Structure 1
């Protein structure tokens, strides 16, 4: 295991700052920007009212339009307040998005609740749990007896799955994903090395669901989605046996993605309640199988110069938590996927956006002046952004369409 005291200390320090614990409070009088967006239970404020210079954020939005990027939402939260909320394509805050691998990060939080409640353990062996739930898979799981939940959550099970380049049944139209995962071949001992494979979140979903005594999506709704006041959420793409994957299929609104980041910054507290323990948040965001990977959470891969942890999804979905700055950045998008897991073009894009626009905005408090001109500039740019269409940089799947609430 790798030690990461700096990030842990920064997360702990964030507890002393007003963030998720005050999320239900209304905005300060005169501080929040007017908005035609549907209501949210997050406080809102002009950037300058919390010491943030809105000019780099306006420049970020202009750059997105100039590059014609398909960035569907981009949010910045500072000190528990929603200070920048950009949508494109005529979308608004009520739409939800396919989050792809950010589903893993929410799964890690659900696992923490189960650990806190004594219903699972990181050293729990997954094969006996799954064999009990699915006796028909006992033989297939026989060579996986050493795999623990910690290996599943840290991408270090050592399992090999021969993915097909397109339309792999593990993703599309799977009649029984757990059977596919159970029949994979161990290629190295558990815990030996990081290997990012989507077999692992299938094992996670089935194991945690068995420990919870209900489908994982139902447990997450009870313990996370409802307590955090989320709306228009859905966990889709279950297989024919009703098993969702912990690696994709979760749909959240951008404002509810922000709550996930805020929950991490607050050490698991929301509105004065401990949703998941501070100890679990520290464990989840500390390096495990690699210096830059914890339990489904990435570490210092967007901002390497200060404590940072983030959730990352295929095609450009991100939740970036910056503990020292008490800030969260959220993006949903359809950006290019070429370049590999940690160096894909969408990862390079979010690094550029945070480093060259968001951090300068957060760092320029001495010039953060709330004036009629700054309000007009921000309002006008967000109006232009709302009509911007952007060109998708990745193949578009039907599930990539943002969805409004069901009426």
Structure 2
């Protein structure tokens, strides 16, 4: 292994970096039949475009084969994941279904008016909404979003009240409509079914059993309710574990954390061909099976079952272009399809040589000194934390 000079700004060590307790085992790409040259080219592309990519990881056959961080960041930094919070919520919902504590056909109004009798009249026009509608973005509810300091996102005194007062636009199950009212209903319903705040249930059933570190689920409202749509902070290596759980059919370290039946349901089309239960389907890679988690401003977990591979990115990339065609979505599509997949395909060229080792080490050092320019407005919550 080649030594690197210490650099207080980059704060990088050798590659592969030795695994800490409960971390993924590191390996050179070529040791699992992956050509590192396209991965070097990927990093060069990110620097050339001046993208603010904070972390980019590739995990193959359970091994961490590519670990790229930008200036000042390390494996132990966590990141605001925005809508990837939904994907973890779907896993927690699966545990509750497996334990018989909730059901997809459960009426959320029944659960929530029992927990909040003061909202009974507000939920009167929502009695046909089931948990499956909430998790598949098909409740038919509409929210009048006001981007500047909107109380559903910032400083909310009572998010559930805001969600309860939204108006139905369509019948439940009729149409996919991505709105952040739904994850508020999800966190309140699942927390009530769990008998504890959703963040505590997720810690008990997912974070701790999977050996995650430095996690946090923040931005609760004044009543202590977190949203299932934002606020979760994970390290990139722990994001990778979420993707690996999708690959393994819910199994981790010899234990079935979430049933295979739920994992199949969660990642199958529900309200749209490209959307399951808070998981996206074949919207990054269309030529083979693929599911992924996607967060605002460029956070991604991409799972490729046929390759036993997970790709993770945290970034601050442009948001213009709409939900499925925003610039950050276009960027990750390009990165995965035009760099990562070729690296996985070039098995005949996957020979670790002194030259390929040197090229990868050199590029990771350059990346470690490079920050990139944020392509989206930066909020205080976007700052990576230890």
TM-score normalised to the size of structure 1? 0.90
Matching residue of 1:335: 317
* Residue 140 of structure 2 corresponds to residue 140 of structure 1: no
Contact 1:105 1:311 in 2 (8 A): yes
Structure 1 counterpart SS, 2:319: coil
Match of 1:322 in 2: 304
Q: Is the 8 A contact 1:102 1:312 kept in 2?
A: yes
Does 2:224 align with 1:256? no
Alpha carbons 2:17, 2:26 under 8 Å: kept: no
Q: 2:111 aligns with which of 110, 114, 129?
A: 129
Structure 1 residues 359-370: aligned runs within 5 Å: 359-370=341-352
State the match for 1:190 in structure 2: 172
Q: Deviations over 1:222-253 (max 9, x none)?
A: 00000000000000000000000000000000
What does residue 358 of structure 1 align with?
A: 340
Tell me which of 98, 106, 126 is aligned to 2:88. Answer: 106
> Displacement of 1:39 after TM fit?
6.0
Structure 2 unaligned runs (5+)?
A: 1-13
- Shift of the 114–128 alpha-carbon distance from structure 1 to 2, 3 Å rule, reads same
In structure 1, the gaps of 5 or more residues are 1-31
Q: Is the 8 A contact 1:155 1:197 kept in 2?
A: yes
Quote the Cα distance in structure 2 between the aligned partners of 1:285 and 1:265.
11
Distance 1:38 1:168 in 2: 40
How does the TM-score come out when normalised to structure 2?
0.95
Q: In structure 2, which of residues 138, 143, 146 is the aligned counterpart of residue 164 of structure 1?
A: 146
Match of 1:306 in 2: 288
Which stretch of the first structure deviates more once superposed, 157-166 or 317-326?
Answer: 157-166
For this pair of structures, how many residues does the alignment match? 373
Are positions 1:206 and 2:188 aligned together?
yes
Contact 1:37 1:92 in 2 (8 A): no
Residue of 193, 198, 206 corresponding to 1:224? 206
The question of 1:67 aligning with 2:57 is answered no
Matched-pair contact (CA < 8 Å) for 1:38–1:93: no
- Secondary structure of 2:106's aligned partner: coil
> How far off its partner does 1:371 sit?
1.2
* Contact 2:57 2:312 (C-alpha < 8 Å) held by counterparts: yes
CA-based RMSD of the aligned residues comes to 1.1
What secondary structure sits across from 2:91 in the alignment? helix
Q: Quick one: distance in 2 between partners of 1:107 and 1:39?
A: 25
